[in-house]
C-alpha cells in the first residue's frame, strides 16, 4: 500500500473521462474537459485522462503533456455489467502513481469499468469522486431510463421491469448488475451531479444523500450576452424587421433519444399551415453518424419536402455561439429525462430562450415562462403549440430578460474544489486546497 496522502507532497487532481473531446463532443466529455481547464486556470495542478477506443486512436489529439490517453479494446468491455479488461486498470494505475495524483474525479465509469473504481479503492489510498451525467448505473438502456422497444419514460428500475426491456438477461442478472455497480460506487468519497433531478434519482436507487453535491456544468468561456431583442442578419443591433420569420435552432446529436423524431413530426404538422415559410425557420445542427437507415431516410425526406426546415450539418463547439445568435430560440425536444444538457447553458450564454420537453433535468434548468417554454414530451402537436406561442415579441423580450446566469469553467472549478474539500478529509488539513469560496449547491 502506498504512503498516506498526508505523508507525501500534494500532487495533481486527475479528471478521468470516458473519451476525449477531440474524438467525441458529447456533454459529459466537454464538461470534464472544461473542469480540467478551469482547474488549471485558477492555479490548481490537474491532469486529464481519457479512455480512447483503439479504433479512434488516429483522431485523438492531446493538447499538452498534462493530458493522457488510455487505449481500450472495446471488444473486451462488458457493457452490461460495465467491467473493463484488466489492462485498463493497469494503465490508469500507472498514470496515477507516476503523476503522484492525490484525488481522482471520474466523469462516467463508462469505458473505465466499475472494477477499476473498486481496484483504486483496494490497491491505493487515492480517494475518488464520481460525476454522474445520466442514469447508466440504474439503466442498461444507455442510461436513458426509457423502455425498449416502445421508448416510454421509465420511473423506477426493478429487476422484473428491466428484464422485460432486456429479455436476453434474467432478473438475477439485473440484480447482480445493480450489486456490482453499487458496491463499486459506494467506495467513492462523494458524488457530483449537475442537477437535483439526477441526484434524487440516484439517492432513490441507493446512494447516500450526504455524499451528493449538485454543481452546474460550466462552459469553457462565457461572453457577454447578445442584447438584441431579435437577431437581425445584416441590420443594426436592436432593429426589428416587421414580418421577419421566427428562427428555431436545434443543436446536438441527431438521434431519436434527443427528440429529433418529435421535431420531424412537428415540421410535418407546421407544413400544413398557410404561408409557413414566411413565418418560421427551423435549423438543425448536429451529426447524423451512427443512425439507422430508416431514421436517415425519414430525416432526408422530411427536410427535402419542407424548405422552411434545413439541415445545417455538424458543428464545432467553438462556433455554437455564432450559430445560436442566428436563431431566436433553441429547441431541446429530448424524449428522455436528460440531466443538465450543455446546450441549455450554451443557449443562455448566447442570450437565447429554450423550448424544451417539460421533464427531468430540462424542466429543472428551464423555468417555464421565465427562461423558455415547456411542451409535453414526445408530443409534436404541443411542440407546434409552444413554437406558435413563442413567436411573440412581447413574450420573447420577457423570456430573454429572465435568462439565468451561466457558470463558466473557472466558477465550476472553484465549486468542485470546495466540494472536494467537503467530501475528502485528508489526514493532514494542510493538504486541503483552499480556494475563494462560492456557494456550493448541495442536493437536498
pLDDT digits (tens, 9 = 90+) for 120-161: 999 999 999 999 999 999 999 999 999 998 889 999 999 999
Of the listed ranges 10-24, 186-200, 421-435, the one predicted with least confidence: 421-435
What are the tens digits of pLDDT across the range 256-315? 889 999 999 999 999 999 989 899 999 999 988 889 999 999 999 999 999 999 999 999
Q: Is the pLDDT of residue 441 over 60?
A: no
Q: From CA 259, how far away is CA 11, in angstroms rounded?
A: 43
Q: Is the pLDDT of residue 229 over 80?
A: no
Output the pLDDT for position 439: 36
Q: Is the pLDDT of residue 236 over 80?
A: no
CA 215 to chain centre: 13
Choice between 224 and 21, residue whose per-residue pLDDT is larger: 21
Give me the helices (H) in 100-195, please.
114-123, 159-165, 171-185
3-state secondary structure of 1: coil
Residue 330: its H or E element: strand 329-332
Structural domain boundaries in the chain? 5-220+409-431, 246-401
What are phi and psi for residue 63, nearest 5 degrees? -90, -15
Q: What is the mean pLDDT of residues 376-381?
A: 97
What are the tens digits of pLDDT across the range 390-416? 999 999 999 999 999 999 999 999 999
CATH of domain 5-220+409-431: 3.40.50.2000
Is 373:386 a contact under the CB 8 Å cutoff? yes
Q: Is the pLDDT of residue 426 over 90?
A: no
Is 436:409 a contact under the CB 8 Å cutoff? no
What are the tens digits of pLDDT across the range 170-183? 999 999 999 999 99
Q: How many CB atoms lie within 10 A of CB 292?
A: 8
Is 418:50 a contact under the CB 8 Å cutoff? no
Q: From CA 213, how far away is CA 337, in angstroms rounded?
A: 19
pLDDT bin (cut points 50, 70, 90) of residue 436 is very low
- Tell me whether domains 5-220+409-431 and 246-401 share a fold: yes
Is 111:21 a contact under the CB 8 Å cutoff? no
Tell which CATH architecture fits domain 246-401: 3-Layer(aba) Sandwich (3.40)
pLDDT bin (cut points 50, 70, 90) of residue 431 is very low
Residue 410: its H or E element: helix 409-423
Is 190:419 a contact under the CB 8 Å cutoff? yes
**Percent of the chain residues past pLDDT 70, beyond the cut:** 89
Over the chain, what is the mean pLDDT?
A: 89
Is 312:285 a contact under the CB 8 Å cutoff? yes
Per the omega criterion (within 30 degrees of 0), is the bond before 149 cis?
yes
Amino acid at each position: 500500500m502506498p504512503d498516506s496522502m498526508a505523508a507525501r507532497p500534494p500532487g495533481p487532481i486527475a479528471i478521468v473521462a470516458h473519451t476525449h473531446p477531440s474524438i467525441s463532443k458529447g456533454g459529459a466529455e466537454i464538461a470534464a474537459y472544461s473542469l480540467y481547464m478551469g482547474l488549471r486556470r485558477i492555479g490548481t495542478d490537474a491532469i486529464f485522462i481519457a479512455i480512447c477506443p483503439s479504433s479512434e486512436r488516429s483522431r485523438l489529439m492531446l493538447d499538452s503533456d498534462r493530458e493522457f490517453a488510455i487505449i481500450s479494446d472495446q471488444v473486451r468491455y462488458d457493457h452490461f455489467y460495465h467491467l473493463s479488461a484488466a489492462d485498463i486498470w493497469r494503465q490508469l494505475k500507472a498514470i496515477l502513481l507516476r503523476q503522484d495524483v492525490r484525488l481522482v474525479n471520474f466523469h462516467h465509469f463508462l469505458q473505465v469499468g466499475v472494477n477499476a473504481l473498486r481496484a483504486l479503492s483496494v490497491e491505493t489510498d487515492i480517494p475518488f469522486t464520481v460525476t454522474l451525467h445520466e442514469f447508466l448505473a440504474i439503466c442498461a438502456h444507455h442510461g436513458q431510463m426509457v423502455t425498449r422497444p416502445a421508448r416510454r419514460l421509465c420511473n423506477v428500475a426493478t429487476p422484473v421491469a428491466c428484464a422485460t426491456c432486456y429479455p436476453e438477461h434474467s432478473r438475477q442478472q439485473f440484480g447482480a448488475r445493480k450489486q456490482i455497480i453499487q458496491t463499486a460506487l459506494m467506495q467513492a468519497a462523494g458524488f457530483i451531479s449537475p442537477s437535483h433531478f439526477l441526484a434524487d434519482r440516484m439517492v432513490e436507487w441507493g446512494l447516500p444523500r450526504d455524499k451528493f453535491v449538485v454543481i452546474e456544468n460550466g462552459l469553457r468561456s462565457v461572453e457577454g450576452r447578445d442584447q438584441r431583442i431579435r437577431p437581425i442578419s445584416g441590420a443594426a443591433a436592436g432593429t426589428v424587421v416587421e414580418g421577419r420569420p421566427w428562427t428555431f435552432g436545434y443543436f446536438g446529436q441527431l438521434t431519436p433519444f434527443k427528440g429529433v423524431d418529435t421535431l420531424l413530426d412537428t415540421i410535418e404538422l407546421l407544413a400544413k399551415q398557410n404561408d409557413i415559410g414566411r413565418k418560421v425557420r427551423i435549423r438543425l445542427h448536429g451529426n447524423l453518424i451512427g443512425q439507422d437507415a430508416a431514421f436517415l431516410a425519414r430525416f432526408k425526406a422530411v427536410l427535402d419536402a419542407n424548405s422552411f426546415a434545413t439541415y445545417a450539418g455538424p458543428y464545432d463547439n467553438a462556433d455554437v455561439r455564432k450559430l445560436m445568435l442566428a436563431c431566436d430560440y433553441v429547441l431541446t425536444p429530448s424524449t428522455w429525462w436528460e440531466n443538465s444538457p450543455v446546450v441549455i447553458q450554451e443557449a443562455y450564454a448566447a442570450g437565447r430562450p429554450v423550448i424544451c420537453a417539460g421533464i427531468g433535468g430540462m424542466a429543472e434548468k428551464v423555468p417555464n415562462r421565465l427562461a423558455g417554454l415547456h411542451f409535453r414530451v414526445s408530443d409534436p402537436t404541443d411542440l407546434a403549440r409552444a413554437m406558435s406561442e413563442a413567436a411573440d415579441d412581447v413574450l420573447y423580450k420577457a423570456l430573454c430578460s429572465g435568462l439565468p446566469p451561466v457558470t463558466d469553467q473557472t466558477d465550476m472549478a472553484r465549486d468542485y474544489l470546495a466540494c472536494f474539500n467537503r467530501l475528502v478529509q485528508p489526514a493532514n488539513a494542510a493538504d486541503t486546497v483552499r480556494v475563494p469560496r462560492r456557494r456550493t449547491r448541495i442536493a437536498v
